[in-house]
Chains A and B, each alone.
Chain A
Amino acid sequence: MLDPTNGGSVVKLVLASFIIPLIIGIALFRLDGRKANIVMISSFFFAMIFQVVNALNYLKTMHHEKVIHVPLLATERLGEVYGIIIDPMSVLIGTVVAVAGFIFMFYGIEYMSPRNRHHPVKKGKGLFYAWMTIFEGATLGFIYSSTFLQLLIFFELMGLACWGVVSYYGTPAGYRAGFKAFIVPNIGAIIGFYTAIWLGITQLHDLSLFALKNLDESLKLPLFLALLIAGYTKSAQFPTYSWIPDAMAAPTPASAFLHGAAMVEMGVYLVARVLQFMAPLPIKVFYIMGIFVSLTLLVAVLNYPAQKDAKRLLAYSTIAEAGVMFVGLVYASLGYISGIQAAMYQLTTHAFIKGLAFLTAGTFSYSLGTLDMTKIKGLKDILPLNGFAWSVALLGLAGIPPMGIAFSKAEILTNLKAMEISWFAWVPIIFVLLDSIVFFAVAITWIKRMVLSKTERKKPHTHWMINISLATLIVLSLIVAFIALPLVEEISFLR
């Protein structure tokens, strides 16, 4: 399982990729202006480089079917307390988070400037950068964690950072949303992780995920359900979904990060990680997850047509897209590895397309001073790149090829072979299709209204940093499905 001689440098890179942002994040609380820009972007840049080098290294030099597991601290009574797991899944998602995070914050430098029409920022952006950098560090730390205690710590740290960025603008709505975004996943954490840690201390005498194989069969179901609640609260799944539309109060780069690459996705990642060790589970889990994910998708579908705020529309799309990832996990609970692979594939492709959607919505704030889609017209003439990016993003989210997310959504369907076990396998898929169809109809309506319509408005101000970020994300959202596939295919159970 572990080959420390080969894995040594990889482990160091992984540790550096999340410890450096955590330390720099704390320092950033004291910085502002250009200095803050440089320090923040350097942190994100190095995290990205470490992750990309790590991924390339892993693909080239390691036997990537092997898992590198390094316990960092172990005691006699608690077993492994802290540790690292490096496997195709953590390498893939870690790289996605770091690359997406860098692009979002590169864009964020210009977004958090006085030139932003909707939210001009003159000073105090160090606070925002600090929370964002900690956010990234916590997310990367979470991804590579091998114990429940470590998962809990980073889970809470993510929650704290989320509270920090959502309430950043200091409005009453922002404070309320920030509090809600902190408290809801926190309840999930109490239920899920406290149960897991309690079982780890009392039953397994080990907090490691690897110890789950020794867990009594009768305890598997309650533990998984408790962790599922943690995952649901983090991923804004029904019935705890409303914190995410409210969390729109955050600055757009933060929204992109917490919707596209971190926070919401980490709920899915947590459940996927647990399933790697616990699947197959009793069929009850399949039905429970199937029902909840279908309800989640239904809530999103009902809400799409009623939205006029660009970010709110995307928030409901996030709920649904995380739901689509959970659909993959529904099948994984039956023991299909293709379910986890599809979920992680969807997580990867979604990160860039959702990032593109949010950053484009951010440009509406930045250039036009509004997020109200009914007030935005003629993008093809006044902001052609933004109009194109918005069309690509909305069509992509609806599952239209050649955007990469179309392929990952199709991959979800390969799990329909679960039909052999139960006809119920159809139900979540039908809701995924319904979601795609309704979102597509809504997307087309808005593209026609916002992009292809005519306007008298003059060309507004935009910035090269914003344009580069959008162009990069358009390219990535087209090619990511091909780049990610080798790692997705390597994801396996870790029993």
Chain B
Amino acid sequence: MEVLGLALTFFALGMASSIIYKDYKLSVRLASISAFLGSIFVFITAIEGIKRRIELELFKYFFPIPIEIDPLASFFLLTIGFIGAVNSLYSLKYMERFDRRAWLYALAYNGALASSILFVSTSNIERFTLFYELLALFSFILIVWDNSRISVRYGWIYFITTQIFGVIPLLLASAIAFTAVGDVHYLTFHELKLNLDKIHSLLPLLYGLFLVSSLVRSGVFPFHFWVPKVYRSIPSNFVVLFIIMEGLGFYGLIRTTYLTLPPSRNLGYIIAALGTLSTFATAYAFKSVKLKRKMAYHSIMDIGFAYLALGIGMILLPVDHMFSTMALFGALLHVLYQIVYKSSIYLFMGSLEYIGTDPDIFSIKRIYRGITFVLAVIPVLSLSAVPPFAAFTSKWLVYQSALASKDVLIVLMFSFAAFMGSFSLASFINLKRMLDKLYKEEVEVEEIPTLIRLSQGVLAAVALILGPISWMEFSWLVKSLKEIIIFPPTGDTLEIFLPITLFSVMALAILFGSLILAYKIGKMQNSKISELLLIFYNIGDILRDVGKFLISGIYTLYINYLARVITEIPKSEIINSIEDLYKFKNRYLDELVVMPFLRFIQRLVKDVEERVVDMNALLTFAAVGFALLIIIFGVGT
């Protein structure tokens, strides 16, 4: 049996386990262990996939799923496998905080991991859509899992968003792909690429559909609104899965557009612009007191930055292959880094939850300066692009390519993103400053289980070494990702990372400049920072108000005008909500036209029955009628 099949078997066992065992603890343990083992096998598959391309068909006789694992897929599978394994170990202990709905946890947690893997591995567009939908369904269950009023509410917002803007566009894109390929059984990305000339006129639509579905999956502007709400309301180990899914949205975009459709500079500009707008989320991260919410905004910022980088890569592709590749590498590394360090930070928040507090500045008191806290500092430094940590590497690559582009729009977008990026570190310095003020003593009063610390520690350690490792293992990275580069660079692979040019020096200067700026901002009084960020908050408020205005406008238009067309509402009646419409009868537009005529005939018949008709008038009426008919027919012939 293929290793991937084994992985899926474990996930399936995990899903089924809780149905067999009713005991909460046992069910949760079984589900988490199955997920752990499944993730390990995914990890092994990914390593195999890096060595050689894997092509196979799963469930051949029941529900064939064509699998094609290339280096890009392996890269993501490696991440899912690793994070999935650590998170599942963590969940073993973390889930003891709860005491109900183990079966739902087992189903959704394992289901989400299994669908993530199949989403990345399948080469069939229809199956790709199906796994996207399954991801949406399982993640929806994860959100509403605790059945609290707030999580159910946000769950529905998430579900509606993913369905309307994620699944439906992908389904439509599959249909267009089907038009090109003509055979549902061979509806692969590769076949679509070969048959694009048949749907040439539909290409812009296809770009749009693929892009929208990826934006929703990644939580990038303008589909970012669900991210802080959802991350705030669900258990931390579930958030980790959502962070993986953010990366999957990015993967989807590369797979569907960059690798399948012809290069498009316009699409590049759109992606870069949306990514840039997403970096604006840091401003909101700054003012969030609740840590899970704060980090959710950082997530939007980070994934937005990756989109900006991908956009730059697309714009530069026809112009400069090397810098285009550099931007793409930067984007990919940034997604990988963000998954690792953000997961590590959320596991830290989970530790705070484990000891019974809601993660905020006050709850940190209970583990401030203990080992758990130290483990959290490492990913925070990685996130803040402090050298030599992770984000520093990816940002340097992207900054270089942006500066080298000599494109005014790119430079403008990049400058905005770089400026907003400095607020990441600033917000943590600010947090630290406040913590120092609040608590002068070292305290670690709460005991956190070893397994939780271990999982957090493993991720923190990886976040620590990821940046330097990327530098040391460039050749491996380039080799493994060679296939996705349309024009691979020649010569020493280090060239792509370390071209000693004016741009690399400038990029380095900007990075250090941002750090100094971040330090300065972090030390400022909160009121002053708020003033500085006011313009961004205002823009955010304007955008939100415009959205609300449009929705309420449609609603008002409907209940005040359109509803009066289709229901028999007296003019004097005031309608305040859709519920008010229920008491009125439907108005049939066709009857509205026909009924006067029918009533006229009815009245005529009644008249004939009730009184003596003036025969002369009737005959005259008939004669005029006939005359008119003759004229009409005469003209007609």
- Interface contact A312-B133, CB-CB below 8 Å: no
Given A374-B582, A419-B201, is A306 in contact with B163 using a C-beta cutoff of 8 Å?
Answer: no
User: Considering only CB atoms and an 8 Å cut-off, how many residues of chain A contact the other chain?
Assistant: 41
Task: Give Cα A444–Cα B566 distance, bound, in whole angstroms.
Answer: 22
Chain B contacts for A338, CB-based, 8 A: 179
Let me know if B472 is at the binding interface, CB within 8 A.
no
Let me know if B589 is at the binding interface, CB within 8 A.
yes
A375-413 residues at the B interface, CB under 8 angstroms: 399-402, 406-407, 409-413
B549-585 residues at the A interface, CB under 8 angstroms: 558, 562-563, 565-567, 578-579, 581-582, 584
Interface string of A190-226 (1 = CB under 8 A from B): 0000000000000000000000000000000000000
Chain B contacts for A374, CB-based, 8 A: 579, 582
Chain B contacts for A400, CB-based, 8 A: 133, 163, 167
Chain B contacts for A413, CB-based, 8 A: 172, 175-176
How distant is B601 from chain A, measured CB to nearest CB, in Å? 13
- Interface contact A416-B164, CB-CB below 8 Å: no
- Interface contact A444-B172, CB-CB below 8 Å: no
Residue from B579, B590, B591 having most chain A Cβ neighbours under 10 A: B590
- Interface contact B164-A401, CB-CB below 8 Å: no
Let me know if A366 is at the binding interface, CB within 8 A.
no
Let me know if B357 is at the binding interface, CB within 8 A.
no
Given A410-B172, A419-B202, is A302 in contact with B593 using a C-beta cutoff of 8 Å?
Answer: no
- Interface contact A239-B160, CB-CB below 8 Å: no
- Interface contact B558-A410, CB-CB below 8 Å: no
Let me know if B392 is at the binding interface, CB within 8 A.
no
Task: Give Cα A240–Cα B589 distance, bound, in whole angstroms.
Answer: 9
B137-185 residues at the A interface, CB under 8 angstroms: 152, 156, 159-160, 163-164, 167-168, 171-172, 174-176, 178-179, 184
How distant is B392 from chain A, measured CB to nearest CB, in Å? 42
- Interface contact A416-B589, CB-CB below 8 Å: no
Let me know if B361 is at the binding interface, CB within 8 A.
no
Residue from B156, B558, B562, B586 having most chain A Cβ neighbours under 10 A: B586
Can you name the residue of chain A whose Cβ is closest to the Cβ of B205?
Answer: A416
Given A245-B586, A299-B589, is A401 in contact with B201 using a C-beta cutoff of 8 Å?
Answer: no
Let me know if B509 is at the binding interface, CB within 8 A.
no
How distant is B225 from chain A, measured CB to nearest CB, in Å? 17
Given A302-B565, A302-B566, is A485 in contact with B168 using a C-beta cutoff of 8 Å?
Answer: no
Given A411-B178, A414-B175, A420-B201, is A433 in contact with B582 using a C-beta cutoff of 8 Å?
Answer: no
Let me know if B456 is at the binding interface, CB within 8 A.
no
Let me know if A171 is at the binding interface, CB within 8 A.
no
- Interface contact A239-B590, CB-CB below 8 Å: yes
Let me know if B476 is at the binding interface, CB within 8 A.
no
How distant is A178 from chain B, measured CB to nearest CB, in Å? 16
Let me know if A441 is at the binding interface, CB within 8 A.
yes
Let me know if B588 is at the binding interface, CB within 8 A.
yes
Residue from A302, A400, A401, A440 having most chain B Cβ neighbours under 10 A: A401
Chain B contacts for A412, CB-based, 8 A: 175
Q: Is the interface of A mostly helix, strand, loop or mixed?
A: helix
Chain B contacts for A239, CB-based, 8 A: 589-590, 593
Can you name the residue of chain B whose Cβ is closest to the Cβ of A241?
Answer: B590
Partner of A440, one of B133, B160, B579, B582: B160
B320-358 residues at the A interface, CB under 8 angstroms: none
Let me know if B394 is at the binding interface, CB within 8 A.
no
Let me know if A462 is at the binding interface, CB within 8 A.
no
Q: Other CB < 8 Å A-B pairs besides A400-B163, A416-B202, A417-B179, 19 of them? A: A240-B590, A241-B590, A242-B590, A305-B563, A306-B563, A306-B567, A306-B578, A306-B586, A312-B586, A338-B179, A400-B133, A406-B171, A410-B174, A410-B175, A417-B199, A419-B201, A436-B168, A437-B164, A444-B159
28 A-B pairs with CB atoms under 8 Å apart are A241-B589, A241-B590, A242-B589, A302-B562, A303-B566, A303-B586, A305-B558, A305-B563, A306-B563, A306-B566, A306-B584, A306-B586, A307-B586, A338-B179, A399-B171, A402-B130, A406-B171, A410-B171, A410-B172, A410-B175, A414-B175, A414-B176, A414-B178, A417-B199, A417-B201, A433-B168, A437-B164, A440-B160
Q: B: which residues have CB within 8 A of A? A: 129-130, 133, 152, 156, 159-160, 163-164, 167-168, 171-172, 174-176, 178-179, 184, 199, 201-202, 205, 558, 562-563, 565-567, 578-579, 581-582, 584, 586, 588-591, 593
